[in-house]
Structure 1
Amino acid sequence: MSGLLAAAVACEPARLSDLGTLVQVLWQFLSLSLFSLGGGNTLLAEYHHLAVAQFCWLTNTQFADLYALAEAAPGPSSMLVGLLGLGAGWREGPFWALLCAYGAEAAILLPSTLLMVMACLSWKRLEHSPWRVAFERGLGPITLGILFAVGLKILRTADTNWAGVVVSVLVCVLMLRTRISPLWFMAVAGVLGGLGVINR
């Protein structure tokens, strides 16, 4: 019981001014921008740590809901960052929430985009370099390992009952063993959630 009270006290949302929240959001996502190897989802564990554990912008359930929304919507997976910024600034009102959302999205995309543009401009010149081949081969396992860790983080965040765990494991097995479109899995999970079979 005392552990739960300590966790609740430790996760009290930071009381910042409107500008303080915006600066905090911008700094956190600017500092993460260059580490998104393999796409925005590779930083999901760090997003969760920042938004839920460190700054208490969102609850665990809200984070899982925003992740599901970002993945279901068309567009890049980095749109989750805008939603996290929205959650961070919400206590200061809708204006600051929108400002934090757009600021977070720009902060996560701008540095990494500029770096990729510069890399692409010089990548062709290194086409036959052994350094380029070694770099590309080395990043593959790193990215797969990060994505595996992200998958485990999502399972721990979203699945809080046995039915959710069973559905998640079944979907993983079917995705690896069959050629069924992921849209069917999303549709079935949506129906099960709507019927209350799986919930949080």
Structure 2
Amino acid sequence: MRENALWSLIVVFVPFSLVSIGGGPSIFAGIQHQSVEVYHWVSAREFVDLFAIARAAPGPGSMLVTLLGWKVAGWTGAIVATLALFVPSSLLCYGVTRMWNHYRGRHWHTALENGLAPIGAGLILAGVVAIFRIAGAGVPSWAIAGIAAVILLWRPKLNPLILLAGGAVAFAFWHGTVGY
């Protein structure tokens, strides 16, 4: 059984490693689907809890995969899941970077770079929507996230920590005055 669990971790996370255009957040929706709905490794609430731990801990937010691997098969699962997510994409990035720099400035190079940007943004947005749905985020959460996104589009050089603090104040105000 343990070997099957380890193999399942590899089968799930290697493909995500190779399609994580835009970084770790771009694959959170798929990881949630696989770990909660397909393999039933964790419940939806456990997924949100592990996601929160991964985001609060130092290091990349995609360490969520390490926590899922640990939940599935202990320390061995944590190591296997982490390697399955990080090694294939690292090797691919190394190879692509060597070729990419050789063709910098060509028309197809610029077109491909510009075409991948909205794909990455869309994948990240799908991850945000999946996390919001699982967490049961209400209208205030969606409104705060939308306002923060608009502000960042309007003032891209604004420090995101200012928006984080503003969101915390809005959240405290909402819970302090409106309540649930």
TM-score, normalization by structure 2: 0.83
Q: Which of 59, 82, 85 is the aligned partner of 1:105?
A: 82
**Paired residues, number:** 170
Whether the aligned pair in 1 keeps the contact of 2:26 and 2:125 (CA below 8 Å) is no
Other-structure match for 1:52: 36
Aligned-pair CA distance for 1:98: 1.1
Q: What is the CA deviation profile of residues 6-36 of structure 1, one whole-angstrom value per residue up to 9, with x for unaligned ones?
A: xxxxxxxxxxx11211111122111221010
Taking the TM superposition and a 5 Å limit, the aligned residue runs for 1:30-179 are 30-89=14-73, 97-159=74-136, 164-174=138-148, 176-177=150-151, 179=158
Alpha-carbon separation, structure 2, partners of 1:171 and 1:31: 29
SS at match of 1:38: coil
Aligned-pair CA distance for 1:43: 0.8
Whether the aligned pair in 1 keeps the contact of 2:54 and 2:63 (CA below 8 Å) is yes
Aligned-pair CA distance for 1:58: 0.4
Flag the 1:189–1:48 CA change in 2: closer, same or farther, 3 A.
farther
Alpha-carbon separation, structure 2, partners of 1:138 and 1:66: 32
Whether the aligned pair in 1 keeps the contact of 2:144 and 2:167 (CA below 8 Å) is no
- Indicate the structure whose relative CO is greater, using CA pairs within 8 Å and at least 6 residues apart: 2
* Residue identity matched to 1:114: L
**Where in structure 1 are there 5+ consecutive unaligned residues?**
1-16, 90-96
Whether the aligned pair in 2 keeps the contact of 1:159 and 1:165 (CA below 8 Å) is no
Aligned-pair CA distance for 1:168: 3.8
Other-structure match for 1:181: 162
Aligned-pair CA distance for 1:172: 3.2
Aligned-pair CA distance for 1:189: 8.4
Root-mean-square deviation (CA, aligned residues, Å) is 2.5
Whether the aligned pair in 1 keeps the contact of 2:17 and 2:89 (CA below 8 Å) is yes
Aligned-pair CA distance for 1:85: 0.9
Flag the 1:86–1:165 CA change in 2: closer, same or farther, 3 A.
farther
Alpha-carbon separation, structure 2, partners of 1:24 and 1:108: 13
SS at match of 1:37: coil
SS at match of 2:109: helix
* Residue identity matched to 2:11: W
Aligned-pair CA distance for 1:190: 8.8
SS at match of 1:104: helix
* Residue identity matched to 1:170: I
Aligned-pair CA distance for 1:191: 6.7
